[in-house]
Amino acid sequence: MSENKQPVPVANEQEQLSVEESFQRADDALQERIASLRAQAEEEQKNAPEEAARAIAEKLEAAIAAARKATEKEKKAIAEAARKREADAKKAEVDAALAQKTEAAKAAAQSAIDAVGDDAKAEKKRVLGKMKEEIAAAKRDAAKEKRVIDLTTLSVFEQQKLAENAACVKSGDFTSFDDETERRKENREHELAAFADETSPADPDALLEVRHLKMYFPLKKSMSGKVLQALRAVDDVSFKLKAGETLGIVGESGCGKTTMGRAILKLYQPTGGQIFFEGADIARYKSSQMRPLRTKMQIIFQDPYSSLPPRSTVGGILAEPVRVHNIVPKAETKDYVLSVMEQCGLRDYYFERYPHEFSGGQRQRICIARALSVKPRLVVCDEPVSALDVSIQAQIINLLRRLQQEMGLTYVFISHDLSVVKHISDRIGVMYLGSMVEFGDKKSIFRNPMHPYTQALFSAIPNPNPDVKMERIVLSGDIPSPANPPRGCKFNTRCPKAKEICKHVAPAYREYEAGHFVACHCYPQGDE
Ligand code: SF4
């Protein structure tokens, strides 16, 4: 039996036909092919012995399956070509509009230059600069519009699959559910939501507003530099934080808390999303633009042992950022540093001492003093007490709270210790595998933890009352790899409440009480 080869329609010929007609032609060709294969097999089977006839029948089944697969592939290509034609036609309109805008900007600039004459060089420069900005903005808008066209123009094939998936969700039978189509749909929706939010202004009440923040680390690249596989450390995280508030971020090790804190401070360049600080989007700022903001955004690291330079005295460590950022006149540096040390509970004679002469708690006070010496507004506290004894932890937490009240500081407090977070936070964000699964104010989350992961974390908080029976929810298994997160809800592999839908469809991140957001299929998703 000859190898199956489907005739691939010529592009020009195919453009004349509608997608339905092309599909019909491919189906007709398949039926013909199957009929010819059957006839050929029957001919071969006529005088063949029983064993050979069975082998021919098996070969026939394999050839028919291959023919069906090839037809499916051909239909996919037809649908994709039609989708591309439709998208290209829409993009051509965008290009035409862009060309018009560019011409209009050039004409306006030319008439402005003609009006002022060639002698007014400064004015000419200003007009040309304005024209370039307008053209660049129009190009950016056009590029965005084209991306939206690509995301929203779906092939007939994709639409069919989506309709089938929707039917599966409705019926609860996921046997024919196409996970790949669902994954593409989720990615499209995330990108479109980020585009839609991009133009809305920052919340004037928020000191920090994070929208659709993504931090991916490439693991595998192609020869051309295209990222083939990435570790999604932070994946589409959004929240707002008002000045003077503390946001506690909780989650197991490896959930992306620290990476998110560092990406907010631009210690990593985020892969995507927006970070509004004092109303300005700093996500795309270069390091030179970030420099004046460095004093306003500080970090306290987890390990007070390794985060202090061993060869500098406490005075030297605290004076350096003050000098670099010109916080006070040079002659007043020492007095200023001594005042910061006093605020942080450090004696003045520590000024000449070295970090190794101090205990863990005192070193963390030095780290806090270093962060506060530049008068920041936002401080990311990255597990600041996890390396300390419990009694020292309380002192440091109380110190942080006192300093917050005195200096009006805003904290992003990262910790895996819920008792500590409960004590210090106004709002709480629960992260799992790079995503925010629950977010809300402290009272609301502790009164009513809605996400099964939050419930499991909260069940592990020790209760000092011996009469209260603890009902611990023990999660089985390890946190999956962020390089290869589970399909659907990322928590489905460990969730005690997981349902079939959780393995296929990611839950929507929705607001169920005022300011209380959750992503879980246990709650209405808004589309049923
Ligand atoms: S969506 Fe499903 S798997 Fe995810 S947390 Fe909710 S119940 Fe568990």
CATH number for the domain harbouring residue 327? 3.40.50.300
Q: Is the shortest distance between the CB of 394 and ligand 1 below 6 Å?
A: no
Residue 113: the pLDDT is 82
Residue 118: the pLDDT is 64
Judge whether residue 48 has pLDDT over 50.
Answer: yes
Residue 20: the pLDDT is 85
Q: Is the shortest distance between the CB of 490 and ligand 1 below 6 Å?
A: no
502/375 same-domain check? no
363/290 same-domain check? yes
Give the mean model confidence (pLDDT) for residues 279-301.
93
Judge whether residue 218 has pLDDT over 70.
Answer: yes
In the chain, the percentage of residues whose pLDDT exceeds 90 is 71
> Would you say residue 156 lies in a domain?
no
Residue 124: the pLDDT is 83
Q: Is the shortest distance between the CB of 521 and ligand 1 below 6 Å?
A: yes
Q: Which of 291, 261, 296 shows the shortest CA–CA distance to 381?
A: 261
Q: Which of 273, 287, 354, 343 shows the shortest CA–CA distance to 317?
A: 354
| Strand blocks (E) in 88-172 | none
Taking the C-alpha atoms of residue 90 and residue 287, their distance in angstroms, rounded to an integer, is 38
299/373 same-domain check? yes
Q: Is the shortest distance between the CB of 489 and ligand 1 below 6 Å?
A: yes
Judge whether residue 172 has pLDDT over 60.
Answer: yes
Average pLDDT score over the chain: 90
How far, in Å, is the centroid of ligand 1 from the Cα of 451?
8
* pLDDT tens sequence across 248-257: 999 988 899 9
Lowest mean pLDDT across 99-108, 450-459, 519-528: 519-528
Give the mean model confidence (pLDDT) for residues 338-357.
93
How far, in Å, is the centroid of ligand 1 from the Cα of 521?
6
Strands 410-414 and 246-250: parallel
How far, in Å, is the centroid of ligand 1 from the Cα of 213?
22
> Would you say residue 333 lies in a domain?
yes
Determine the residue of 489, 490, 528 to mutate for testing ligand 1's pocket, defined as the one with the most ligand atoms within 8 A of the Cβ atom.
489
* Contact predicate 83/159, CB 8 Å: no
Judge whether residue 65 has pLDDT over 50.
Answer: yes
Residue 436, beta-bridge partner list:
431
* Contact predicate 488/499, CB 8 Å: no
304/381 same-domain check? yes
Using the 3D structure, point to which of 425, 457, 486 is the last residue of a domain: 425
Residue 18: the pLDDT is 82
Residue 528: the pLDDT is 53
> Would you say residue 267 lies in a domain?
yes
Q: Is the shortest distance between the CB of 507 and ligand 1 below 6 Å?
A: yes
Instruction: For 273, list phi and psi in degrees, rounded to 5.
Output: 100, 180
> Would you say residue 284 lies in a domain?
yes
The number of distinct structural domains making up the chain is 2
> Would you say residue 437 lies in a domain?
no
CA distances from 194 to 198, 214, 227, 231 (A): 6, 11, 21, 20
* Contact predicate 410/243, CB 8 Å: yes
> Would you say residue 251 lies in a domain?
yes
Determine the residue of 454, 473, 495 to mutate for testing ligand 1's pocket, defined as the one with the most ligand atoms within 8 A of the Cβ atom.
495
Q: Which atom of ligand 1 is nearest to the CA of 495?
A: 8
500/382 same-domain check? no
Q: Is the shortest distance between the CB of 363 and ligand 1 below 6 Å?
A: no
Using the 3D structure, point to which of 425, 459, 481 is the last residue of a domain: 425
Q: Which amino acid is residue 217, in one-letter code?
A: F
Residue 211: the pLDDT is 96
Structure tokens that stand for 186 in this block: 């989720």
Instruction: For 187, list phi and psi in degrees, rounded to 5.
Output: -60, -40
Q: Helix, strand, coil: what percent of the chain each, to 5? A: 50, 15, 35
| 338-343 own/partner pairs: CB under 8 Å, 24+ apart | 340/369, 340/372, 340/373, 341/314, 341/369, 343/369, 343/372, 343/403, 343/406
256/335 same-domain check? yes
Determine the residue of 505, 517, 521, 525 to mutate for testing ligand 1's pocket, defined as the one with the most ligand atoms within 8 A of the Cβ atom.
521
How far, in Å, is the centroid of ligand 1 from the Cα of 179?
17
> Would you say residue 477 lies in a domain?
yes
How far, in Å, is the centroid of ligand 1 from the Cα of 522?
7
414/457 same-domain check? no
Taking the C-alpha atoms of residue 303 and residue 299, their distance in angstroms, rounded to an integer, is 12
The string of DSSP codes covering 436-481 is EEEEEEHHHHHH---SHHHHHHHHTS--S-TTSPP---PPPSPPPP
Q: Which atom of ligand 1 is nearest to the CA of 452?
A: 5
The boundaries of the domain holding residue 356 are 243-425
* CA quadruple 443, 446, 447, 453: dihedral, nearest 10: 140
399/505 same-domain check? no
* Contact predicate 492/437, CB 8 Å: no
